Amino acid sequence: MAYVENEEARLYYDVQGSGEQTVLMVMGLGGSAKSWGTHVPSALAEHMRVVTFDNRGVCRSQSKTRKWSLADMARDAVSLLDALELPRAHLIGTSMGGMIAQVVAAEHPERVDRLVLTSTSFGGPESVPLRGAALEAFTPKPDATREAFLAHAFSVITAPGFAEQNPEATRQYVTNRMEVGEQSLVVQLGAILESDRSELVRSISAPTLVLHGALDELVPVENGEMLAERIPGARFERYDSAGHMLHYEHPEALIESARAFLRAN
């Protein structure tokens, strides 16, 4: 196990592959490095070095503070690059991880080569809120076990029928989320709600690819479209049959898009 420590956190990370280029993958709300699965990181690692990590307060990473912001988590990502002696890297961020990656790219532009943002938004009052079904799915029910609650949530945030047709994906999602404490989820959610990057993203100079599922109930696709419009020169790709979890639902398409974009230097 490998760790890096800064003033506010102790972060677990993993490195796969090798090469001149490195991609840092930033996970979303309630997820850990394991939440990427093995297929996407290992496929990208065939051509470059891939770094995954647990955000502070999640699984194997600890926070030294009881509350933190997206900016704090962005500094964590930069401290990881520092520890690995990486002047620059590509970033792939999904959902909350995409929000963190936006902050890194805007506030530390010299550290980011290319940026891939999936299933995410710039936040604030201009963003489109989650659909009613997703809101209902993420409202805890006193008569449901946490496993059942998470399985239902996965079925709502993925494309209709995906969870039922892919029970192993559902199992992996539930298992990984069960490892995350409720308090960390509350803090992460607060960090998301408190962050408005609607103007900040205008300053992103890294070449950017925005990927979004048309059936995303948690972060509706309009958010991805607006994000791509606001980041100078960003490219947008819409996955018509996908929901929120592109790395579960369409891993091959995600790999193909990311690989082609990141190797376009």
Domain edges within the chain: 2-262
pLDDT for residue 265 is more than 60: no
pLDDT in tens, 162-218: 999 999 999 999 999 898 888 898 999 999 999 999 999 999 999 999 999 999 999
Dihedral of CA 58/96/67/23: which sign? positive
* Count of C-beta atoms within a 10 Å radius of residue 84: 16
Quickly state the pLDDT bin for 8 (edges 50, 70, 90). very high
CA distance 208 to 68: 26
Single pTM value for the model: 0.96
Query: pLDDT over 90 for what percent of the chain?
Result: 88
CATH number of 2-262: 3.40.50.1820
Say how many CA atoms lie within 13 Å of 6 toward its Cβ.
22
Give the chain's mean pLDDT. Answer: 94
- Residue holding tokens 């239902």? 152
Crossing angle of helices 167-178 and 146-157, in 10° steps, is: 130
Q: Closest Cα partner for 63 from 183, 219, 194?
A: 183
- Cβ atoms of 102 and 200 closer than 8 Å: yes
Quickly state the pLDDT bin for 42 (edges 50, 70, 90). very high
Q: Which residues pair with 117 in a beta bridge?
A: 93, 210
- Cβ atoms of 32 and 180 closer than 8 Å: yes
Query: What is the average pLDDT across 241-250?
Result: 97
- Cβ atoms of 243 and 215 closer than 8 Å: yes
Crossing angle of helices 182-193 and 70-83, in 10° steps, is: 110
Query: What is the average pLDDT across 88-106?
Result: 98
CA distance 172 to 169: 5
Tokens in use for 83? 């520890």
